[in-house]
Chain A
Amino acid sequence: MKYFRLIVANLMRAKRRTFLTVFSIAVALFLFCTLRTVITSFEASLRASQATRLVVRHAASLVFPLPLAYRERLAQVPGVTGITYGNWFGGYYQDPKNHFAQFAMDVPTMLDLFPETVLPPDQAQAFRSERTACIIGRALAKKYGWKIGDQIPIVGTIFPGEWRFNVRGIYEGKTRDVDENTLFFHWDFLNESLPEGRRSQVGIYWLRIGSPDLAAAVSHRVDAIFENSPQPTKTETEKAFQAGFISMIGNVQLLLTIIGSAIVFAIMLVTINTMMMAARERTTEIAVLKTLGFSDGLILRLVAGEALLVSLLGGILGCGLAALVFHQLDFTGGGFFPNFRVLPATVLTGLLLAAVMGILSGIGPAIAAARLRIASALRKVA
Chain B
Amino acid sequence: MQEPRNGNLIELRDVHKVYHRDRNEVPVLQGINLEVQEGEFVALMGPSGSGKSTLLNLIAGIDSPTKGEVRVAGESLARLTSSKLAAWRARHIGFIFQLYNLIPVLTAYQNVELPLLLTRLSAKDRKKRVHFALDLVGLEERAKHIPRQLSGGEEQRVAIARAIVADPTLLVADEPTGDLDAKNAADILGLLQRLNQELGKTILMVTHDPHAAERAQKTLHLDKGVLQP
Residues on A lying within 8 angstroms of B by beta carbon are 2-3, 5-6, 9-10, 12-13, 284-285, 288-298, 373-375, 378, 380-382
Closest B residue to A293 by CB, please name it: B90
- In the complex, what residues of B have CB within 8 A of residue A296's CB? 82-83, 86
B34 at the interface (CB under 8 A from A): no
> What is the bound-complex CA distance between A378 and B99, given in angstroms?
10
Q: Does more than half of chain A's interface fall in helix, strand or loop, or is it mixed? A: helix
Q: Are A375 and B63 in contact (CB under 8 A)?
A: yes
> What is the bound-complex CA distance between A31 and B90, given in angstroms?
47
Q: Are B63 and A374 in contact (CB under 8 A)?
A: yes
B43 at the interface (CB under 8 A from A): no
B78 at the interface (CB under 8 A from A): no
- A288 and B101 in contact, given A293-B90, A381-B54 (Cβ under 8 angstroms): yes
The listed residue with most B CB atoms (<10 A of its CB), out of A3, A6, A298, is: A6
| CB-defined A-B contacts under 8 Å, sample of 8 | A9-B105, A12-B105, A285-B101, A288-B101, A373-B63, A380-B174, A381-B53, A382-B206
> What is the bound-complex CA distance between A94 and B213, given in angstroms?
90
Residues on B lying within 8 angstroms of A by beta carbon are 19, 28, 46, 48-54, 56-57, 60, 62-63, 82-83, 86-91, 93, 95, 97-98, 101, 103-106, 110, 114-115, 117-118, 123, 162, 174, 206
- In the complex, what residues of A have CB within 8 A of residue B98's CB? 380
- In the complex, what residues of B have CB within 8 A of residue A375's CB? 54, 57, 62-63
Select B53's contact among A284, A291, A373, A380, beta carbons within 8 Å.
A380
Select B118's contact among A12, A291, A292, A381, beta carbons within 8 Å.
A292
Q: Are A297 and B83 in contact (CB under 8 A)?
A: yes
- In the complex, what residues of B have CB within 8 A of residue A3's CB? 117
Q: Are B114 and A381 in contact (CB under 8 A)?
A: no
Q: Are B49 and A290 in contact (CB under 8 A)?
A: no
- In the complex, what residues of B have CB within 8 A of residue A293's CB? 86-91, 93, 115, 118
CB of A280 to closest CB in B, whole Å: 16
CB of B75 to closest CB in A, whole Å: 14
CB of B14 to closest CB in A, whole Å: 20
- A291 and B174 in contact, given A13-B104, A296-B82 (Cβ under 8 angstroms): no
CB of A316 to closest CB in B, whole Å: 23
The listed residue with most B CB atoms (<10 A of its CB), out of A284, A291, A382, is: A382
Q: Are A292 and B90 in contact (CB under 8 A)?
A: yes
Closest A residue to B44 by CB, please name it: A382
> What is the bound-complex CA distance between A295 and B104, given in angstroms?
21
> What is the bound-complex CA distance between A9 and B103, given in angstroms?
10
Q: Are A374 and B62 in contact (CB under 8 A)?
A: yes
- In the complex, what residues of A have CB within 8 A of residue B48's CB? 382
> What is the bound-complex CA distance between A373 and B85, given in angstroms?
13
- In the complex, what residues of B have CB within 8 A of residue A380's CB? 53, 57, 98, 174
The listed residue with most B CB atoms (<10 A of its CB), out of A2, A6, A288, A289, is: A288
- A295 and B82 in contact, given A13-B104, A382-B48 (Cβ under 8 angstroms): yes
- A381 and B90 in contact, given A289-B114, A292-B118 (Cβ under 8 angstroms): no
Q: Are A382 and B54 in contact (CB under 8 A)?
A: yes
CB of B16 to closest CB in A, whole Å: 15
Select B60's contact among A5, A288, A291, beta carbons within 8 Å.
A291
Q: A13-B105, A373-B63, A380-B98 are in contact. List 14 more A-B contacts (CB 8 A).
A: A13-B104, A288-B103, A289-B114, A290-B62, A292-B95, A293-B87, A293-B91, A295-B86, A296-B82, A375-B57, A380-B53, A381-B49, A382-B48, A382-B51
- In the complex, what residues of A have CB within 8 A of residue B162's CB? 292
Closest B residue to A284 by CB, please name it: B101
Q: Are A9 and B106 in contact (CB under 8 A)?
A: yes
- In the complex, what residues of B have CB within 8 A of residue A292's CB? 89-90, 95, 114-115, 118, 162
> What is the bound-complex CA distance between A374 and B28, given in angstroms?
17
Q: Are A290 and B110 in contact (CB under 8 A)?
A: no
Closest B residue to A375 by CB, please name it: B63
> What is the bound-complex CA distance between A9 and B107, given in angstroms?
10
> What is the bound-complex CA distance between A2 and B115, given in angstroms?
12
Closest A residue to B106 by CB, please name it: A9
- In the complex, what residues of B have CB within 8 A of residue A378's CB? 57, 62, 97
Q: Are B95 and A9 in contact (CB under 8 A)?
A: no
| Smallest CB-CB A-B distances: 7 pairs | A293-B90, A382-B53, A375-B63, A295-B86, A374-B62, A382-B52, A293-B89
- In the complex, what residues of B have CB within 8 A of residue A2's CB? 117, 123
